């Protein structure tokens, strides 16, 4: 379904147990809500599950302008308001984890817990040229220019060689991402700067990361865990950036155990 919130139409799906707490899922850059397919069966049997397409992705609107993480957080809050949901367990991966930090810091009363997966709390000056190069390449050559390099960052060589079921799914998602949405969200990501504020998060917090994630490495998760009191860090072996796909069973077991014990 589509919900009008914060000035845009947002594509979302609300499924699972209507009598249970709501788990809200937020995907990575250049993907969509289908990124969470490997989690749906396990979650829906225990929770109500809200997954949605972030502004600029999937079937949600993609305005042609730079976005901010605060804008994306306002989208999420607006979606909850429109659906009449007071508070959720928020699960975000990569860009979704950055959005989760923003929500936890600025809208903490809307969260029951936060799970931050394969993400970081700051983008340093040293990597700004990399983000600019991604933006320039997408603007000049479209999303096709992003596919191979992105897949290599997101999955281990073994998983790519085996052509695991997630590879083609994510390849299609990258290609389907509107250039305007990719650029808009990239502008939001490159301004990420929450590390020094993380001590202000006072929510049950789970941090998960693929052991071989090159873009948001284990060290970035350790830096978050050190600053969020009581947070738990789990490193998933044999996984890169999309650990929820490459190691779905371990990811699901860890996530559900955390959610059931919040």
Give the other-Cβ count within 10 Å of 6's Cβ.
Answer: 17
What pTM does this model have?
A: 0.98
- Mean pLDDT over 207-231 rounds to 98
Query: What's the pLDDT band for 153 if we cut at 50, 70, 90?
Result: very high
Query: What's the pLDDT band for 164 if we cut at 50, 70, 90?
Result: confident
* Nearby residues of 84 by Cβ (< 8 Å), 6 or more positions away: none
Domain coordinates in residue numbering, the chain: 2-260
- The CATH class of the 2-260 domain is alpha beta
- Mean pLDDT over 25-49 rounds to 98
Asked whether the CA dihedral 32, 36, 41, 47 is positive or negative, the reply is: negative
pLDDT in tens, 43-95: 999 999 999 999 999 999 999 999 999 999 999 999 999 999 999 999 999 99
């Amino acid at each position: 379904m589509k919900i009008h919130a914060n000035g845009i139409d947002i594509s979302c799906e609300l499924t699972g147990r209507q009598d249970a707490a709501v788990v809200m899922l937020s995907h990575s850059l250049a993907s969509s809500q289908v990124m969470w397919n490997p989690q749906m069966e396990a979650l829906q049997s225990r929770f109500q599950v809200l997954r949605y397409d972030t502004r600029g992705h999937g079937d949600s609107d993609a305005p042609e302008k730079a976005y901010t993480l605060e804008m994306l957080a306002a989208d999420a809050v607006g979606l909850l308001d429109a659906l009449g949901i007071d508070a959720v367990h928020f699960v975000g991966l990569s860009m979704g984890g950055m959005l989760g930090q923003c929500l936890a810091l600025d809208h903490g009363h809307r969260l029951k817990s936060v799970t931050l997966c394969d993400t970081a709390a700051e983008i340093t000056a040293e990597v700004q040229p990399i983000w600019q190069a991604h933006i320039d390449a997408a603007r000049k050559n479209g999303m096709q220019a992003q596919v191979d390099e992105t897949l290599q960052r997101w999955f281990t060589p073994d998983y790519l060689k085996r052509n695991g079921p997630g590879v083609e799914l994510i390849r299609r998602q990258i290609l389907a991402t509107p250039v305007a949405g990719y650029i808009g969200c990239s502008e939001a990501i490159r301004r990420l700067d929450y590390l020094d504020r993380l001590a202000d998060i006072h929510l049950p917090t789970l941090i998960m990361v693929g052991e071989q994630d090159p873009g948001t490495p284990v060290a970035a998760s350790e830096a978050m865990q050190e600053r969020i009191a009581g947070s738990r860090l789990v490193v998933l072996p044999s996984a890169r950036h999309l650990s929820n796909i490459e190691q779905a069973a371990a990811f699901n077991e860890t996530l559900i155990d955390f959610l059931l014990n919040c």
